[in-house]
Amino acid sequence: MTRRFRALVAHPQVEALGELAELIGGLGLQVETARSTVEALNKLRQNPAHVVVAYHLSNNFDGVALLESSILSSPEALRIALVSAPDEAVELDYRPPHAGIIIRLVAKPSERSRLVALVGEGVKMLTLVDEQRELVRKLSLDQSKLQRRETLLDVVVKERTKELEESYEKLKSANRQALFGLAEAIEAKDPYTKGHCGRVAAYSLVLAKEAGYPTEGLETLEFGAFLHDIGKIGIKDAVLLKPGPLDDTEWIHMREHPVKGFDIASKIEMLHPIMPAVRNHHERWDGSGYPDKMIAHDIPLSARIVAIADAYDAMSTDRPYKKALALEECEAILKKTAGKMYDPELIDVFVNRKLGALYREDYDDLPYDDGHAASST
């Protein structure tokens, strides 16, 4: 077993030195011996001790001076002076504090048990201090390991988050393209409505911006406006593409498209936020619309916006059964139907800001760019 603690014993007599070394060695310490104070100090300089025991006899063997000097090489050592007679100890009681504590024992065989007990207690204390230091060392080591791991983990998490965000953006973009492609395919079935969804999305976006729609919801609103007629996938071609007016049965079937669109959107998680615009874009302000006969502000704002954009685009573009109306004519119809079919406040914004000029070649300035209404040229 490796002896953890060292002791130095100094005594001028060989026999007494041997006896003391045996006693202290028996307590588990590694013991060095010295027969002079000079030899003892040399050994301590080379190898500091945890326990220093020195014999003291005035004018013969200055053990107290040795113990005081040992502070330089072994500052935390347990120091014991073995005085030859009780009266030799008086000077120890008046020592300055910086000289360290020296414990005094009378150097006679009957005091040996006290020496053993004292050193034994000292070794227990040293062991405890040692264990505490080891614990502190391990804890600080663990802490620095933990910090290194946290830093590493932080880097890994950031990298993974960035990768996931990039993947998500790619996936989102791919899904959007697929859905826009789907909407374009529906438009392509009916050449007369080609470009309609894109224009409804653009009108909805400018109207929403001008009406103070929450910025974070604009992208969803534009998306919803683009796909508002997605339910027409479920409408029979014979009805959807009929060149003439629809009969009652055909109208009933055609009016199913908002609910059909809603059902489609409900099955695709990415489309959930646009479900109100899809389902309710044919509701009317006075409750005469479909499918839920909602009234006024009960109609979702996105659906009220899309309804105006949808109606305006239908009026302002050529259809098989009618020619496109001028901007002012469209605005007049919208104003007339405000409060009956459409949200009157939104109609005010749409008309007063000339938002319908967005796709009109006869209007140069885009009114929503600087917030002022454009003038006719």
**Interacting residues with Fe ion (CB under 5 A):** 229
Cβ atoms 107, 88 nearer than 8 A? no
Nearest to 50 by CA among 111, 4, 106: 4
> What is the identity of the amino acid at 159?
E
Q: Helix, strand, coil % (nearest 5) of the chain?
A: 65, 10, 25
CB of 289 to Fe ion, least distance (A): 11
Q: Give the residue with the Cβ less far from Fe ion, 78 or 278.
A: 278
Per the DSSP assignment, residues forming a β-bridge with 334 are: none
Nearer residue to Fe ion within complex by CB, 187 or 229:
229
β-pair partners for 52: 8, 79
Compute the least distance from the CB of residue 354 to Fe ion, in Å: 25
| Residue 229 or 256 with smaller CB distance to Fe ion | 229
Q: Annotate 246-261 with b (16+ C-beta within 10 A) or e (fewer).
A: eeeebeebeebbbbbb
The nearer residue to Fe ion, 68 or 229, going by C-beta atoms, is 229
Minimum distance from CB of 313 to Fe ion (Å)?
11
**CB nearer Fe ion, residue 205 or residue 309:** 309
Tell me the torsion sign for CA atoms 167, 170, 174, 176: positive
Least distance from Fe ion to the Cβ atom of residue 160, Å: 43
Closer to Fe ion by CB, 229 or 343: give it: 229
Minimum CB distance to Fe ion, residue 256 (Å):
11
Residue 306: CB minimum distance to Fe ion, A: 9
Shortest Cβ 310–Fe ion spacing (Å): 6
Least Å distance between CB 150 and Fe ion? 55
Q: How far is the CB of 293 from Fe ion (least distance, A)?
A: 16
Report whether 110 contacts 131 (CB < 8 A): no
Q: Which is nearer to Fe ion, 44 or 277 (CB)?
A: 277
Our CB check for Fe ion shows the closer of 229 and 283 to be 229
Measure the CA–CA gap between 57 and 370, rounded to whole angstroms.
106
Give the whole-angstrom CA distance, residue 291 versus residue 171.
33
Instruction: Tell me the residue nearest to Fe ion as measured from the CB.
Output: 229
Give the residue from 193, 273, 268, 177 showing the smallest Cα distance to 229: 193
Of the two residues 8 and 225, which places its CB atom closer to Fe ion in the complex?
225
Nearest to 14 by CA among 28, 41, 33, 37: 33
Q: Which is nearer to Fe ion, 55 or 223 (CB)?
A: 223
Q: Give the CB-side neighbour count of residue 253, counting CA atoms within 13 A.
A: 15
User: What is the rounded CA–CA span in Å between residue 7 and residue 30?
Assistant: 6
Report, in Å, the least distance between residue 174 CB and Fe ion: 26
Residues 6+ apart with CB under 8 A from 366: 357, 358, 374
Cβ-based burial of 224 (10 A; exposed 0-12, middle 13-18, buried ≥19): buried
Burial group, residue 205, by CB count within 10 angstroms (0-12, 13-18, 19+) = buried
